[in-house]
Structures are given as C-alpha cells and as structure tokens.
C-alpha cells in the first residue's frame, strides 16, 4: 500500500504541472519523497555558508554574512509572491477584471524589479543569490496560494512584515533598498484593497 502512495506522490507534480498557478510547493511534496531519488541540496552552494566572497563593501564579514542570510530568505519569499501575483494576473475574472488584471500585472512587475535589486545586493555584499524554483518551494515563508484577491493581499501583508523585519540590523544602504520596496508594495496593496473594498 505504501508503495502505491509513494508512486502517486512521486508523480503528482507531473500530473498537475500543466495547470497555471499551481504552487511551487507541490514540487517540493513530489520531489521530497524518497521514491523520486532526487537530491534537493544545491550542488554548487553550501546550505549555511560560513564565509562570504570578497566584496567592495566596507562592512565587516560577519555583518555582511548576516545581511546576506536575511536578504536570501526575503528573496525566496519575494520570488514566491511574484509568482502568486502573476498567477492572479492570468486568472483575474469578474466585473473588476480590467482593473485587477492591470494591478496584478503591476505588482508582479514591481516584484521582479525589487527581487533583482535584493539579489544584486546579496552578491554585492559577497553572498550567493539563490532563487531557483526548487529552492523557493523549500524556503518560502509564505502560505500556499490557490487564487483570489484577498488571499493575495494576506500574503502581501505577511511579506511586507518580513521586509520590515529585514531592515532591523541592516546597514543603511540595505535599509534604503528595502524601504523603496516596502513603499511601492504598500502602495499597490492599498490600491488592491481599495479596488475590492465594499
């Protein structure tokens, strides 16, 4: 009986991969089962690096290491949220279709840009920016997203809280980068809330 369930879990991802908006975490459920024999560890990066690469930054190595770890976690969350917003963009329906379709597209586009800035900040500080689908599925701190405007708003609020927390203890340049991201995403969250508010 266990073998039968093992086979189902190992093939679940391939059965639903064609459905738009399927959460990446399903890939984790499918590939994390022993039946798949897939190694989830990145082959070229350590899980918990103890050093950072040389950097033009004047910050001490220990501080750069801590900031890179914080930003690395936020990067995974940001990529996950961007995928959610893109899925919402594709699947917008109803009388507010045009407004929501455009707004979801703007949110997704803004996250692409901000995620890129976060990744480049990590590398500038000497870290490794990891953002593959597999690592996002393993590392995101956001709940799964199936669809809908209010669930996306909830996940945006969680992400904004994580971004606010990431500013604590960061250097001024990293704080500035995160402040710009927070400011734009808070604006879009307000616009989204105002659009659907009754």
- Which domains, ranges and CATH numbers included, belong to the chain? 1-41 (no CATH), 60-198 (1.20.1260.10)
pTM of the prediction?
0.77
Distances 7 to 16, 24, 32, 189 between C-alpha atoms, Å: 15, 19, 12, 41
Task: Supply the pLDDT for residue 197.
Answer: 85
Mean pLDDT of the chain: 82
pLDDT tens digits, 3-34: 443 433 333 333 333 334 444 444 444 444 44
Residues 13 and 160: their CA atoms lie apart, in Å, by 30
What percent of the chain clears pLDDT 70, i.e. is strictly above it?
A: 75
DSSP class per residue in 58-108: -S-HHHHHHHHHHHHHHHHHHHHHHHHHHHHHHT--STTHHHHHHHHHHHH
Residues 101 and 156: their CA atoms lie apart, in Å, by 17
Task: Supply the pLDDT for residue 52.
Answer: 84
pLDDT tens digits, 48-101: 567 888 899 989 999 999 999 999 999 999 999 999 999 999 999 999 999 999
């Amino acid at each position: 009986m266990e073998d039968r369930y093992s086979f189902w879990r190992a093939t679940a991802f391939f059965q639903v991969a064609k459905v738009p908006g399927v959460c990446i975490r399903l890939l984790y459920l499918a590939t994390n089962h022993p039946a798949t024999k897939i190694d989830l560890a990145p082959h070229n990066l350590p899980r918990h690096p103890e050093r950072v690469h040389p950097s033009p930054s004047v910050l001490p190595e220990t501080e750069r290491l801590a900031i890179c770890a914080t930003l690395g976690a936020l990067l995974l969350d940001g990529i996950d949220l961007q995928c959610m917003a893109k899925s919402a963009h594709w699947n917008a329906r109803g009388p507010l279709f045009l407004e929501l379709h455009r707004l979801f597209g703007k949110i997704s586009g803004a996250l692409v840009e901000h995620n890129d800035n976060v990744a480049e900040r990590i590398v500038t500080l000497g870290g490794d920016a990891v953002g593959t689908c597999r690592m996002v599925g393993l590392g995101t701190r956001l709940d799964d997203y199936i669809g809908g405007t209010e669930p996306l708003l909830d996940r945006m609020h969680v992400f904004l809280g994580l971004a606010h927390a990431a500013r604590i203890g960061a250097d001024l340049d990293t704080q500035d980068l995160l402040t710009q991201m927070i400011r734009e995403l808070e604006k879009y969250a307000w616009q989204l809330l105002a659009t659907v508010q009754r």
